[in-house]
Amino acid sequence: MRALETEQIVAIWEKGQGALPADVAMLFLCAAFPGKAPKDLLPLTVGQRDACVLRLRELTLGSHMEAMAECPHCSEHVEFSFETADVQFGRLQEPVPLRHRLREDGWDLTFRPLTAADVMALKRTPDVGAARRSLIASSILEVRHKSDPATPDGLPEKLLDLIGAAIAEHDPQSEVPIRLNCPACGSSCSILFDAAQFFFRELTAVAERILSEVPILAKAYGWSESEILAMTPVRRRFYLDAAG
């Protein structure tokens, strides 16, 4: 895996406009593994996918990250910083077990980790609860209730919560909480870190800055967009300064 080049940054920014989060994550995966077909990356678990995205971010922009979140108690904007190591819950190449079992209140379930394919199969929907139920159902391999065969449909909400927690436990990079302390009201809260969405917001700022430089350099030197994007940031900055 190598750092993203300028052309790749701009291409991901362009293709990611209006895309679903799972599609944005797949754009990063395809850029990280250019020798693999997208279908070969779909079996990665959500945790493996996000670990790859986080590593790609580290190679491209470094290990330090700065962010802002809204306090759910007082709505104050809280600025915070962290390192990639703070949100890495496993090694990139570490295998993830593919079958797990859960027994609770007469239910006996066998399930697997969620994959990139599972998340991409979700339709765009404002109903978060329905999306969550659909995702969890896709992870279930076998269901028995009091020794009788059953289906994932109609599972109790409590059981869905337990399966969701178990999936996150067995594929820890798939659900990464960050603990925040609000300096305004003194409360604490936990937010989920989405590596792909975080990285995409950063790349958006980078891509827009780069593209704003293109017309300046094109006018000053007559170069095409492709020629300008192919330059290293150092050379591009040198010519911008010279043109100014």
Q: Which residues of 82-97 are buried (b: 16+ CB within 10 A; e: fewer)?
A: eebeebbbeeeeeebe
Within this chain, do residues 161 and 43 fall inside the same structural domain, yes or no?
no
Is residue 157 included in any domain, yes or no? yes
In whole angstroms, what is the distance from residue 160 CA to residue 102 CA? 11
Same domain, 108 and 74: no
Higher pLDDT, 146 or 200: 200
> From the CB of residue 199, how many other CB atoms can be counted at a distance below 10 Å?
23
**Residue 32: band (very low, low, confident or very high) from pLDDT cuts 50, 70, 90:** very high
pLDDT digits (tens, 9 = 90+) for 148-163: 998 888 788 889 899 9
Q: Are residues 87 and 184 in the same domain?
A: yes
pLDDT reported for residue 72:
85
Residue 80 and residue 195 in one domain: yes
Residue reference for tokens 């006018």: 219
Span 48-106, pLDDT tens digits = 999 999 999 999 999 999 999 888 889 889 999 999 999 988 666 667 788 999 999 89
Residue 137: give the domain boundaries: 100-170
- At residue 147, the pLDDT reads 87
Beta-bridge mates of residue 142:
110
**Domain end: 137, 170, 203, which one?**
170
The predicted pLDDT at position 172 comes to 87
Q: How many domains does the chain have?
A: 2
Which of 147, 170, 193 is a domain's end point?
Answer: 170
Same domain as 128, residue 195: no
- What stretch of H or E contains 58? helix 46-61
Query: 79 and 16 share a domain?
Result: yes
Percent of the chain with pLDDT over 90: 65
